């Protein structure tokens, strides 16, 4: 293995560690219906953009804080659910989106590194992978 291949393999190991640190993407289990009517617009939390989710989250925090300041804590209800429930669901969606984005970025980096490996190193890795698969079957 040449000097560049060694550096590439070290970077691939760092990527694998980062993927592991991200962990599994949890399943989205909403508290709300995920269909929010706010200021004359209907939002579906499953399909709106990251930017829209951040905007809605800010609005929900404002409404939640104002209801507390006015003496009506946990009583601000929008589209049948409390602002706190909306805040939880939106925060969960943003976390899942961020995890997916990080994993996609790491996969792109890993693919670029794979392309930079020499043919001999690629062959060694494939042989090693096949050997591991054979060991697992026994």
Could you give the number of structural domains in the chain? 1
pLDDT score at 137: 64
Domain that holds residue 84: 3-137
The overall average pLDDT reported for the chain is 93
Could you give phi then psi for residue 36, rounded to 5 degrees?
-115, 125
Question: pLDDT by residue (tens digit) across 47-64?
Answer: 999 999 999 999 999 999
Question: pLDDT by residue (tens digit) across 7-59?
Answer: 999 999 999 999 999 988 889 999 999 999 999 999 999 999 999 999 999 99
Report field, pTM of the whole predicted structure over 0.85: no
pLDDT score at 125: 87
């Amino acid at each position: 293995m040449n000097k560049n291949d060694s550096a590439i393999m070290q970077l691939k190991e760092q990527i694998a560690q980062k993927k592991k640190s991200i962990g599994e993407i949890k399943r989205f289990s909403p508290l709300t219906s995920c269909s929010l009517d706010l200021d004359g617009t209907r939002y579906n939390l499953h399909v709106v953009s990251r930017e829209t989710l951040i905007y809605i989250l800010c609005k929900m925090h404002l409404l939640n804080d104002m209801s507390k300041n006015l003496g009506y804590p946990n009583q601000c209800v929008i589209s049948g659910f409390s602002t706190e429930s909306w805040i939880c669901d939106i925060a969960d969606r943003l976390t899942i989106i961020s995890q997916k984005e990080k994993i996609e970025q790491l996969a792109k980096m890993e693919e670029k590194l794979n392309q930079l490996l020499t043919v001999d190193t690629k062959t060694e890795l494939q042989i090693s992978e096949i050997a591991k698969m054979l060991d697992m079957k026994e």
